[in-house]
Chains A and B, each alone.
Chain A
Amino acid sequence: MNDKLRNIVLPLTILPLLVACSYTGGVSSPFRFFFFPLVLLLSLYLAPATVFLSGVIFSSVQVVLAIFARPADMPSLPGIVAEFVCYLLTTWAATRIAGSRAEEAKRFRLAEATFQGLGNELSHRTTNLQTALDALSQAHDRLQDLDRNKTAFLANVAHELRTPLSGIRAYSEMLLTYNDLDSATQREFTEIMQNESVRMTNLVNELLNLIKIETGKVELATGRVNAAELIGECISIMKPMAATKGLTLDAVSASAVIWVNADIEQLKQVLINLINNAIKFTQTGGVTVGVLRREKSAEFFVADTGEGIFPEEQEKIFQEFYRVLDSVPNRPAGTGLGLSICKKIVEIHGGTITVESAVGKGSTFRFTIPLFQSGEPSFLMAPGEKPKRHHDGFRPILVVIRNTVKWMCLRKCLEELGYKTVGALTYEKACDLAKTTPIDLIVAELTNNRDGLESLAALAYTEGTPFFMAYFHVSPPEIISLPMTGYIWKPFNGYQILPLIEPFKKKRMTFVIISADMDESRMLQMILGTEGHATSLFVTVESLIQSSASSSPDAVIIGSYDEEALDIIVGRVRAHKGLALKPLFLVIEAKPANHVRLVTASFQDKKPLLFGLSPLIQEIEGVLLK
């Protein structure tokens, strides 16, 4: 019911009715019996104050009537006074009852809202838990798979080490046991032992190499590599081996120079491994090596005229320790690791390796390596790549922002102040980078996609790296600022919210809350409402802007949105005359770890510092100069 109607209009319309029934009916009127119950009821359900007022007016009319009009059966003056006192007592009692009822109803609504809020929170958390559980069981399955693979790998390693070892053991024992061996046999046995120990050494080296690649410990020194030049170099290395088997080894030269982005030593190893295999498995004919330009990568190929590989074996040859058995009567020596190393190297460069083969005709191995892009952004660094220069003894600041425009602006801003920066678009990438690159400080943007944030925060904590987080806003042209006066995280409670608004020293503030999540905004409304603050809720930024044209709120609370939506809302709010200078609060999904510092734009003398990053810069300088 409309409040105005309920509190004023209705009681006042009932007043003439009361007067009329009293006046026309007189003392003996049956309406008088209903008079006090009617007052009580009206007081309970309408506004007691208005009923009281109408009672006073009513009694005054009675008195006036009693004195001047004197209708026949009008009660005496003391009777009217007694009636008036009764009337007062009735309204007073009714007021008290209505008051306590309203209080109770308010408490009930509050409890209901709290309950509903908790219920929502609970179901939200249950969903989160379920998601986490699913992720965990997936991770568990993956780990089990990995474990099985590891066990198989170890069994294979043991197996592969035993073969050369058994040669060494058998021949050394034979040399020791038989004293009558002629010198030619002695020499033969020693040579076998020598060869087997070389084979074992190669195996151990390749294993170590493989482990290094597998654990990501290979530091790729990527740079501009001339593909044809590299092929030429590999061919000159392998030419003697081909020549002893009477095979040809040639390069197919491309018309234009192809530059690839690769670690030259690693790429050379891939080519040499492939050429080595090709020569080993080819008896007549030759090997051709070349490179072709594709859309975004260069495609290298090594083609031979050897035995070829059976289709069912073509997938397996890239597995560790897999060696082609059946197709070759006298299997050439090898560790069974060469191709799997090639595959790993190609993959860490961002390429793929494939094989085409026809039994009896030969095989062609192809792999891709990304082309070198001259304008490659320097902040997207490969793991392990170290920055080339540091600024005045400071190590770089790691900037983690998904939005490239914001990233560029913040970098420019920091570099103009003399800081060196490195960057990553996601927390995960940042984490990889932070593990390999020395940094002094982390500045990250608050986003609702929190993947990798925890591990980054944990890394910063263990390394003792200061970690700042904030919401950044870019308003054209190229001005990056910290618009938020404060952050509110879920689950909401009065203890975290009320200190935020305390500095404004205003008992009754009006807030506008914009959120797509009604649970979120209702919960905030309830918490602020219990402290006597007024709130209005909006779902769209248009409705917020429209309403702000007529009334001016004291502060704006923005609910949890994804980055793009948030940027639009902040942009609209900052562009609106009535809202631009108001304190802004942002809802974030969860409280960051304790050592992460949330940076806010401070309010001085109730006025926001509109532009620039001064609070952030002050914090950074404060930390770094220490």
Chain B
Amino acid sequence: MKEIDILIADDEPHIVRALSFIFSREGFRVETAADGEEALQKCRRFAPRVAFFDLIMPRLDGLELCREIKSDRGGCHPYVIILTCKGQDVDRENCLKAGANEFMTKPFSPSEVLGKVRSLLDR
């Protein structure tokens, strides 16, 4: 099984492109997914250490994806960061309840996101 550092799941190609560009430049191993279902498959296959999920995605939304991954027995348990346009308190609560480790809202600053990943992956 090929191990990767970061999985990015978002249905907006520009967001995926921006995040993967930043992380690849820093030497992280990155995988991307354009919808929830694909993200779930890749998560199980590549066992990423950190995962960025959008909330609204085709086929499987971020909350469901979060629950699926956190309930995987013996599977990988990445550090899940929800990166979404939804900024209401209730959204944050729902995400944390679903098992997400962190909740960030768009628009985001690439350097901030990078700083967060660096501290998590201890590099």
Contact = CB atoms under 8 A, between A and B. Distances in A.
A177 B107 contact: no
A166 B58 CA distance: 19
B4 interface: no
A331 B58 contact: yes
B1 interface: no
A561 to B, nearest CB: 57
A173 B107 CA distance: 11
A454 B109 CA distance: 56
A598 B14 CA distance: 69
Contacts of A325: 56-58
B96 interface: no
Contacts of A107: none
Interface string B77-108: 00000000111100000000000000001111
Contacts of B110: 170, 173-174, 177
Contacts of A162: 85, 87, 105-107
A492 B97 CA distance: 67
A178 B77 CA distance: 32
Given A159-B85, A167-B14, A170-B18, A326 B58 contact: yes
A330 B38 CA distance: 13
Interface size class of B (residues with CB under 8 A): 20 to 34
Interface size class of A (residues with CB under 8 A): 20 to 34
Nearest to B83: A166
B15 interface: yes
Given A171-B14, A196-B14, A328-B58, A166 B111 contact: no
A177 B111 contact: yes
A476 interface: no
Nearest to A159: B85
Contacts of A167: 12, 14-15, 18, 107
Interface in B1-47: 11-12, 14-15, 17-19, 21-22, 25, 34-35
B73 interface: no
B123 interface: no
A599 B86 CA distance: 61
A126 B108 CA distance: 60
Given A174-B22, A192-B14, A166 B87 contact: no
A329 interface: yes
Closest 3 interchain pairs by CB?
A166-B107, A166-B106, A169-B107
13 contacts: A155-B88, A158-B87, A162-B106, A165-B107, A166-B15, A168-B107, A170-B14, A170-B108, A173-B110, A174-B18, A196-B14, A325-B58, A331-B11
Interface of B: 11-12, 14-15, 17-19, 21-22, 25, 34-35, 56-59, 85-88, 105-111
Given A162-B85, A166-B85, 16 more contacts: A159-B85, A159-B86, A159-B87, A163-B106, A167-B18, A169-B107, A170-B109, A170-B110, A171-B14, A171-B18, A178-B25, A192-B14, A196-B14, A325-B58, A331-B11, A331-B58
